[in-house]
Structure 1
Amino acid sequence: MARRNNHHNGERKREENVAVAIDKDKASQYALKWTVDHFLSRGQALTLLHVKTRTSSIPTPMGSHVAISDMNDDVARVYRQQNENHAKEIFLPFRCFCSRKEIQCNEIIVEDTDIGKAIVDFVTATPLDVLVLGAPSKSGLFRFKTSDVPTNVCRAAPDFCTVYVISKGKISSVKSANTVPPSKPPQPANTSPFTRGRASTNKSYELSSQDSDISFVSNGRPSTDRMFPSLCENMEPGRLSSTSSDFDNNSFASSFSGNKSFDITLQPNDFSSSSTEGGRMSLSSQSMDDVEAEMRRLRQELKQTIDMYSTACKEALTAKQKARELHHWKMEEEQRLEEARLAEEAALALAEKEKQKCMAAIQAAEQAQKIAEREAEKRIYAEKKALKEAEERKKILNSMAHNDIRYRKYTIEEIEAATEDFSQSRKIGEGGYGPVYKCFLDHTSVAVKVLRPDAAQGQAQFQQEVEVLSCIRHPNMVLLLGACPEYGCLVYEFMANGSLDDRLFRRGNTPALPWQHRFRIAAEIGTGLLFLHQTKPEPLVHRDLKPGNILLDRNFVSKISDVGLARLVPPSVANSVTQYRMTSTAGTFCYIDPEYQQTGMLGIKSDIYSLGILLLQIITAKPPMGLAHLVERAIEKGNFAETLDPAIPDWPVEEALSFAKIALKCAEMRRKDRPDLGTVVLPELNRLRALAEDVMPSIAQSSSSGGSSASSYISSTSQVR
């Protein structure tokens, strides 16, 4: 605010004349409080302006109205005096507020029929520097339906006056002054057209409360004769004091005690002695009776109102004090609770931190102990293994020294010449045994698998594979062509389409295998596995049956490879009732028989479990982890078709479901629940192969372009021991 800032920047050149238009509404309270906060300081003067509406008639007890000109002079005078007292009563709370703020206030009452015009006339005649108005409420400004009074005043106000319209403590609109107010000429005494009251002093009213708000009894406060019964209690019937019309706000002692009640004492005079020179003025008996009755009724109502107001003030003060005490107690309790909560949280955090440190120390100690035990076991195992491998190597070399006619022996020079000194361009794969090279020996395309010097148990697997493959021949078993015992080299027939694992997962961006090929390959694998289980004089258990160990030739005929982990089982323990106990388990995770892994008991049905997982992969082309559970749940829910390999659009769902059910039986957790390979599993697989051959009459007509040349011949083998 420009005016307010000027007050703080330096002394004003002259005292500004500030006025606030007031009434008994809430807007006047906001206007006065805003004016005191923004324009005035202690000791300065303020003009309070109230516009009283001029009336030409008064109501009667019968509900009708009588013109003032038709009434008796004394009755009209009493009525006017009551209206004037009521108008003066409006200044009481504003005067109290100014007294608390140590502001001197001049009270002006203007009577007119047009409120806006009366305010503008007063501003022009004074003249005023600043005029503050309250914004109109729903009930209108100054109790009249003239909500446009602030607008009219802003329009008609002279240019030297700044008009502020305040709404709920904030500026609603401003009409700024353009000129300096003219100097006011001196006026003779008692010539002002406005009724001016006495200026209230700081000692007139004292409040026990230090609140800065303006307190009203109510917006619809009663008339002066109801608020101040002392005006009428001491009057005798038929006698009224004309001096009571000269109501002076400073004539009664106002003192506000702690309960904000107040007592007002007036000394009325005899109406007949002061209103006339000679004697009594006679009134009609009817008018006097009505006036006396009305006065008695008003005295009674005023007394009741005063009592109710006093009681309400006491209760309000008591409630406010209790509320203040409760709030103080609540704040203290909340502070104590917050301190306790913070202390508890700090203690819990410290305890948790100490607990974590303790747990970490315990875990570190346990881990160190386990590492030490594991290292000791590894050292002992390595020593035993080294001794055992040395003995086995010695035995193998001794046995190889003798002429063995079961397989062709190649020299290392022949193998080096064929592989171009083991060139990387000839390398087609890498397995757990060692690298695999493609070359030509004896004008035949072969695959050479070379034993790595650091391969674990490589010599034992080399010897086992030579012993097994050199003794057996079967269309579904890979063919061993020869070996170089001195350097651990094995020579196999070359399988053009790589492993079944590569084709199922379409490595090298190869086409998907048709379902006819898959059914035929499954039957061929079962046939080759049954051949191993029926080997004489002792059955052979493969122990590592998986898609990576199934190789496919150029016509997609499947052959079982990697029999280095195969073990001979005595015929007496080859059935599913009694098994042959092994000192260590071997195979690939997810394909190992659960009972074999837990107990070490090996039997031919250990291969049946691996076959079940392999068969499920053939139709789903999914990883083995949790595959049996996935297919079983899909069958139960009726959405088995969703588990089939989506790369094949023409699956025979019913036959695939039969295929999956026999595979799930093979993958049972308990060995005794798995079906027999020769009497149950293989007949069903042969039936499905016959169905596939009916759809594709000749295997030779199958598209050899359905799979590209394998990137590797023998995939890597993961062993779990």
Structure 2
Amino acid sequence: MAVVSPMSPAMATTPHQVYPTTPLRGSEVPWIMSGMREAAEASSPNVVDDIIHVAVAKDVKDSRLNLIWAIQNSGGKRICILYVHVPAATIPIMGANFPESAAGEHRVQEHRENEEQGMRNILNDYLLICQKMGVKANKLHITDKDCIEKGIVELICKHNIKKLVMGAASDKYYSRRMTDLRSRKAIYVRENAPAYCHIQFICKGYLIHTRNLSLDGGNVEVRSPLSPQTPSRSPSLGQQLYRRVRSVNERNGGRMSLASPIRFLMQPNRFGREGTSNGSDVLSRPASPLVSSTSSVNFISELSENASALNSSSPKAIQASSSRLQDSEMDETLYDQLQQAMAEAENARQDAYQESIRRGNAERNAIEAIRRAKAAEMKYEEEVKLRKELEEAIKREKEEIDCMKSQREKLNEELQHALHKNSLLESKMASTQLMLEELDQKNKSAMDTLEKYKQEREDLQTQRDNALKEAEDLRREKQEEASTSHVFQLFSEFSFAEIKEATNNFSPSQKIGEGGYGSIYKGILRQTEVAVKMLSPDSKQGPKEYQQEVEVLSKLRHPNLITLIGTCPESWTLVYEYLSNGSLEDRLSCEDNTPPLSWQTRIRIAAEVCSTLVCLHSNRSHSIVHGDLKPANILLDANLVSKLSDFGISRLLSCREDSTTQFWITDPKGTFAYMDPEFFASGELTPKSDVYSFGIILLKLLTGRPAVGISKVVESALDAGKLNSLLDPLAGDWPLALAEKLARLALRCCEMERKNRPDLHLEVWRILEPMKAPLSGENRLGLGSQELCQPPPYFICPIFKEVMRDPHMAADGHTYEAEAIRGWLDSGRDTSPVTNSKLVMHNLVPNHALRHAIQDWLES
């Protein structure tokens, strides 16, 4: 509790200005008493503040207890929520914070509106707490860009706030020994708030510190307990009164009566009126000269009686008394009496000050006792409630125990019955255990036998694989010997004049394609349709590539390799059999409105290409890598049988001295979309480079999409279970299981590292061959197979309907058995047995490549 004097600052600092400085006349005495009365009344604590302002934080949890404490201790006064909003220094944009200058005016305005809406929501939450506690409250807020504490001080000054409640520190710093402020904001407000503002600092619902208003312009801190402040040494009001009375007495010739000052002193509670401030610590005005107490009242009563006696006396007595006042003895006596009265008043003020301190402590103790009593009462009620709950729980426990007893009796009976059954089961288990041991012994012996059989089977399988390998080596040696013996009979040599005549002097209308080697023309050479591959002057390839292709096609025979009919060394020209259906690239894109390839035909073509690559890679003398495998280099004949062409950049591989890996170091060439990434990076061309290109071709056959990035697209579709959406609809209805198996095989072939790609013969061919056989209605080409297989349709003579022994190519571009086509022509016919078109000539060209392929098939 504090004694508060609401005297204005001017009155507190210059109390002597109440009195006039000019000599007093007899009519001025009532004016003096009236002014002194007004000064005394002004010094009384008459502070009435109907609003308690509560400063709250942004988090409702941090200030909820402070607001509840203010409401409970408001004494029915109104509550006003005080809030200071500090705008954010940065603006959040897409997970990052940007300065206000760099965020843009629109985003800044939008963020500020969101902040204001958040501020309104916070204030509404605090108002809801007041509403739940039955208190009407309003709100007051301000925006301060510097800090919260400066905003609080600005609100106090702007709205003349007389009473404020705010937090002393965060709740985590609270303890019973906490006696001072621990919040930077609270300390700043305490030191900088105006002196007329009474501030109470709360922490966790407890009053920690109070700063009362001060009349001398300074801030007065109050702590409990606090020793009395030393009174001011300025001249007391009694001394000033004595000087005024003496001055008036001298001007009036010593005729002033003591009644006026005595009546002035008799005014009750003129000086030192006590004031409290809601149980806060005691404050006193340092310059106040008198405090009402028992001793001061008794002394003033004596003066009042003397004054009454003087007033009731006769005029003569008054005149005598007045004359005696003129004497110096009476002046000294009056001064001594006033001094004595002032001393006693000062003592009384000190006693009252001490009494007010004691009373404040008593009030605080009483409040604390009430709080403890309420807490004890609540604790007692909780204990009573807990006791009732415990009694009910005990009652329920007793009922459960009784129930459990009855259940236990039943369980005992069941247990006895179970024990009897258990004894029977134990005897059965003993016999069963003996049987299990016997079975374990038999199982162990069976496992040993099985391991022995597995080992024998592995040995037999190893022996079979070795035998198959030896047989394959012998077959290849025989093929190489046969091809070597006929190497110089494989193709013919043509003159440049014949080439010009066949292509109509390289007419543009005869041009059917163009590649890295040069242009390709369709022509009639010796009454046979042929494809002429002519080296261009500006071609990237040259004589080296020409010799390379001649050497490769002269050493290998395979039904799916293009047939080299002849060459023209004079102009580095190659003459091939003419394939009417163009390239696989053209057929996949339906060039010239050609019908699309069915999915069955696509699988058969993939198997044929795989068989051809296996033949190239497994060549005994030197493995051959095509190096430029792509759909444009896979040609299709009239029956859509694939023929691999363009061996200009193929390579015969050797091995490193310290490694079994076959490779060729060369500059990367070929089409980028089908090129092996490791070959492109290192320049090492290996058989696994063709495996990568073959994987891209498989994906293109499946989807019909461009080759660039196709592996990533298919892999994502497989992972998402959406492969069906990528399959080429022009191929018909793909069997989804077969398509998925083919896609996964293709992705394995397209692995970035060549060591992770599968082997064409051991893995890829074994998957593609079963897919191909049931689709074409024919048995598969027996690559590495020991069983007799049905011949491919292009091994069958169109006339004799049997496998050809001496195949010859007629002018219609089809191959026949030599005996059959000669008999056809000798009988006078001049039309084609297949197309029924007229043959322009009767000359026949031996098809050595097909003959060697048929021989290989017959020997396999």
Report the TM-score, using the length of structure 1 for normalisation: 0.40
Which has a greater percent of helix?
Answer: 2
| TM-score normalized with structure 2 length | 0.33
